[in-house]
Structure 1
């Protein structure tokens, strides 16, 4: 019920005359109505009158055709449905499967609403009929039916239990924990219990010893286990699961079996108490309340990223799961890593097009692993927090240290931009220019050798070494790199030395590696860029970028002009504080006349000359140039018309201030001359004389 009204709404439905109204009346008043009304108004039970301390609303329904809309609304609002049939009317039981269960499924609109099947008028049941024989097929074929029971409103038998079980089906539901058909715990329940076991196993020996079991018991129930209870628990587990007890403690199979036994014996509240104590909601994922313990709010021009502690934590997770110590996570190792979570967060479509570094076999390397978490934190920080907790982080108090928020952009660029670990680059390209090589070139190895991505690339994330001493770029990857699309080595194809108007992509140096930063490239096709600039939220979206790059065809004057126009529009929309870089896509030498025009235009706009790249494989220096542009922002912000207008306004204000100050000085000088001409003392001179006279008089006295 997370994020919703905590009220438990119980809808009582069934054929006419089966005893719905009498059941509610008997439970509420402990009397049997001889002449019940057709339909009761909703009965409201305050939270303080309910054992589970939640408010309850019981809604009676009518099956008459004219009341169909009210019935459907009651089912749609219901947390649980009590489906009644009459024990003395077999046809009403037959209609449970034939009519009511399909109809309830339709009314619920696909949402899972637990159903409690209740045989009313048990006092009138024929002696040769048993409830179990009649309802077993219904229970087997309809997972939504939590349980079945009979009652008698006339004899006041089990009427209270009906609503207690209905309430428990909501507060302590069976369906998320146990598969009744397979008679096994559901996968999400087993994963959650495995995480809890891992958190309780303080010495990491795979066994919960007596001290760890007692600590677990106190944490969940505020009371230690008695010695007799502990012995009894281990005996029960050892009898049913011999491998569940080792060296006097519970193993993971034993711990999971124990909770399966609780559920089998109807003690769901015990397992739910454990799960909720460790932060789970009814869907068996960490609750919003648990995740909201860390505040992720920040201004659009601030950046939330992993801190040094956060990167160290995820590095330790990788190293723990890389059991064969080969530097990559195999499929089996990844499955084990996510076995204490609901599954990989990267299996959703949002991550399908994200490129990170892998091995040649497509296995995730440490740098690729950290890059994925950097991307996840940038886009969904709550997911990163949740998985840090799934991976074994003990509590949310520790979790806050995994994240850091930058200062506002303008303040950061004046002082500490170099402290950032993640830089975002928005890559704008016109129709007809493929940004694929630019995105793929960032990654040392981005996919299995058997083919290209099956979906468009939406982002590329990788670490980039910043320029070292003397401006030389340090080698970024120690192992051999495989160009994603042709080419044997990184570098821009030139075919000549006529690169006037273009910036140098950098060279490879030697020596110790300089600091690195994670670069996140996000492409915008021409249409996407136009949609962004036309949206009311463009400024907020662009505020998240550290640098924007604009690709153009180096053989086309029109392409360059369009790139400049797009750059000026983006810079203006970003409030003239977004660094911008031009990238010249060239497989041949740029025409000298065009190169001269490009250089002159860049000089006039106050931006660096375009960075050249070959369409087959861009040089590594290009990415270092992008990172450098983000860190040296003041040197790469284009001189847009809006920025020029601001400068003119500031100059006008300064001139007005100087003129006003000069006028005031002239006025004061004229006034002083007038007083001197008329023999009057200057302003303040009389008071100064009086001030001097007072101490002189005191000295004379």
Structure 2
């Protein structure tokens, strides 16, 4: 859990209403008859409140010359306390006439609290509610109102505690004070969150929280079980106000929502927030970063996140649960119900238009397409996939939902492929048929239409390349044990703009996830194949000549011209690549293409073009190896000569010593001469 950030509480109001005295009383628990005009920021330690959050109390001046400091303080505030003098009604009127409009002009969008200072001076017989009702009705942004007295130290601590609670347990995300013709109501996001919590607590899926389920929920959120009389009291209150809130002796979803509405209306906002945070929500009612960080997606660019069998089983169970008519398709209405506990769908409108899923239908999402959605989301946006699976109600260990593949180089050394998701980038000149091919592979009906039958919008999109698409295809391959291995191919179209951006300098990072580059060209156009070859050289250069590539001749039904065939043969011979595979939109060609791509991806040494830059790099490495060999050989020869020379010197020294020993020279001089010879001091 991250350390609590101090809450900045800014106190504003007219001169003389008691701002400085209020802060002094809170900080020192004493009353000062002559406080300074403006106090410096005062910090209250974290142990002064049950929440353990430190506070910084900021005093302000209402003098015109201090307006800049006032505005700076308010813009940095987490909560603003609007003070008035309980003995001066005109200071209260100034709150609605001047202070609130001024704060709105500054753009201060934080909770506002109205505080009546000097409550000991309030006129007898007049209650706080009678005094502030007109102001509260005019200023809808004020969340609550309190009164206090710094002189008698009455409710001073409560003022700042309520200000802290307005930040720690904010009202705006969970409750709309003016909804339904002025009657407060839970916000839509809060309803979604509480519905998810209800469904996760309803273990037997009967739509009712029984006494045991309510007790489990209570222990999970508050670590204290409910006594039988407390359970009966809760259900009695709900059934009295909302008869449909209790059924078969248990609490229904409407009753559960009503109970939290009651908590908020009675000032127990912290109860609802404690429940929300226990189930992983942050202050904006999205799953908190702490919750999502429980799973680490740290990986190198050539690794991919994949769904585990646990994740697939959970998602399949969700599909079966919400396929209420058992037609094996999730209709739009059934998807609305499925995602009724989530702020948004896992598959957005932009995803639907850009990512083509094999098995999609115009009437909804088939089970195959539904699972492909999640495979794609896990590979491209794993954190978003985790968040949406948790919002669907997954209760197990989050880390069990995902696995990370081995690095690509290590993967290719294995005898059989373990990776189940491969990403291919499809490059090609304009009008080469990239979009049409991917739509056909995904089974899109419009791809099979002749150009004259396509809608004007589709024709325009194909021409302008503004509709770059991605096809997600399921494949099944045999494995060594005799079973089958489910594989997914993600084929992403790269427009000419994408290719130019990669070539301009960002390509290495952009190409890192790519397992195979597909170069597509029009088999009837020599210009198209020339552009495709230029793209191939550019892409492989950016990828440091380490990217497997394959060339495809599209529009095979039009026939390949002799000039194109000669150009392809010459280029493939130079690049040590196989001839391009001819493809059309016929079903048998598409099936053959998928098998061919998968075979290339699963090869231990997939085809990397032998480009001029790769040839130059290879020649350079060969020269460096030769230079290293020559250097090593020269070093060995030098060492051998040096060793021979040392041996010769040692032999000469030994002979001279031997001759000296036969003469009349004393023995100690012989020994000294021998040592000198060995040290090289004598010739």
Q: Which has the larger radius of gyration?
A: 2
Structure 2: distance between partners of 1:67 and 1:98: 20
- Output one character per residue of 1:302-342: Cα deviation in whole Å (capped at 9) or x when no partner: 11122233223222211221111111111221111112222
CA shift digits 1:43-100 (9 cap, x unpaired):
1011122321011101111223332332222222211111223344444434434443
Partner in structure 1 of residue 408 of structure 2: 409
Please report how far the alpha carbon of residue 661 of structure 1 lies from its aligned counterpart in structure 2 after TM superposition.
7.6
Q: Give the match's secondary structure for 1:340.
A: coil
Q: SS state of the match for residue 119, structure 1?
A: strand
Per-residue deviation, 1:675:
14
- Range that drifts further, 98-107 or 195-204: 98-107
Q: Which residue of 2 aligns with 1:212?
A: 213
Structure 2 residue matching 1:302: 3-state secondary structure: coil
Give the distance between the partners of 1:229 and 1:21, measured in 2 at CA: 44
Report how far residue 671 of structure 1 moved. Answer: 11
- Aligned-pair distance for 1:572? 2.3
Deviation at 1:582, TM superposition (A): 1.9
Give 1:463 deviation, angstroms: 2.4
Q: Which residue number corresponds to residue 144 of structure 2?
A: 147
**1:15 aligns to 2:14 (yes or no):** yes
Distance in 2, matches of 1:98 and 1:310, equals 58
Aligned to 1:685: none
Alignment of 1:186-585 (within 5 A): 186-347=187-348, 349=350, 352-357=353-358, 359-395=360-396, 398-415=397-414, 418-433=417-432, 435-445=434-444, 456-465=466-475, 515-535=485-505, 537-585=506-554
TM-score of the two chains, using structure 1 as the length reference? 0.81
Q: What SS is found at the alignment partner of 2:544?
A: coil
2:477, 2:487 within 8 Å by CA — same for their partners in 1? no
Query: CA deviation digits over 1:542-571, x for unaligned, max 9?
Result: 111111122223333333222212212212
Q: For 1:147 and 1:527, how far apart are their aligned partners in 2?
A: 55
* 8 Å contact kept, 2:49–2:161: no
- Decide which of 567, 591, 600 is 1:597's aligned counterpart: 567
Stretches of structure 1 lacking an aligned partner (at least 5 in a row): 470-511, 681-701
Deviations 1:380-435 (A, max 9, x none): 2111111111112114xx22121111111111122267322221111223344453
CA contact (8 A) 1:146 1:175 kept: no
Aligned-CA RMSD value: 3.5
2:146 aligns to what SS in structure 1? strand
Q: CA deviation at 1:8?
A: 0.9
Q: Give the conservation status (yes or no) of the 8 Å contact 2:575–2:609.
A: yes
Q: Deviations 1:351-401 (Å, cap 9, x if unpaired)? A: 653332465434112122122212221222111111111112114xx2212
What is the DSSP-based 3-state SS (H/G/I as helix, E as strand, rest coil) of the residue aligned with 1:635? coil
Q: Which moved more, 1:133-142 or 1:311-320?
A: 133-142
Which moved further from structure 2: 47-56 or 209-218? 209-218
The answer for the alignment partner of 2:170 in structure 1 is 173
Q: State whether residues 331 and 365 of structure 2, in contact with CA within 8 Å, keep that contact through their aligned partners in structure 1.
A: yes
Q: Is the 8 A contact 1:464 1:624 kept in 2?
A: no
Larger helix share, 1 or 2: 2
Distance 1:123 1:676, change over 3 A: closer
- 1:173–1:55 CA distance, 2 compared to 1 (3 A): same
SS at match of 1:157: coil
CA distance in 1, matches of 2:322, 2:4: 41
1:638 aligns with 2:601: no
Q: Conserved in 2, the CA contact under 8 Å of 1:41 and 1:59?
A: yes
Compared CA separation, residues 99 and 439, structure 1 to 2 (3 A): farther
8 A Cα contact 2:11 2:59, kept in partner: yes
Once residues 304 and 446 of structure 1 are traced to their aligned partners in structure 2, the CA distance between those partners, rounded to angstroms, is 31
CA distance in 2, matches of 1:212, 1:467: 45
TM-score (ref. length: structure 2): 0.83
Alignment coverage as a number of residue pairs = 631
Cα distance change on mapping 1:76 and 1:669 into 2, 3 Å: closer
| 1:257 match: secondary structure | helix
Would you say the 8 A contact 2:203–2:213 is kept in 1?
A: yes
SS class of match (1:531): helix
Shift of residue 270 of structure 1?
A: 1.7
Give distance in 2, aligned partners of 1:582 and 1:415. Answer: 26
Distance 1:134 1:377, change over 3 A: farther
Question: CA offsets, 1:15-53, max 9 Å, x none?
Answer: 333322222123323333333322110010111223210
Question: 8 Å contact 1:85–1:92 — kept in the other structure?
Answer: yes
CA distance in 1, matches of 2:117, 2:643: 107
Q: Distance in 2 between matches of 1:32 and 1:401?
A: 59
Q: Which deviates more from structure 2 when the two are superposed, residues 288-297 or residues 358-367? A: 358-367
SS at match of 1:419: coil
**1:607 is matched with which residue?**
577
Which residue of the partner structure matches residue 37 of structure 2?
38
Q: Structure 1 residues 141-150 or 311-320, which shifts more? A: 141-150
Q: Which residue of 2 aligns with 1:647?
A: 618
Name 1:626's counterpart in structure 2: 597
CA distance in 2, matches of 1:441, 1:4: 53
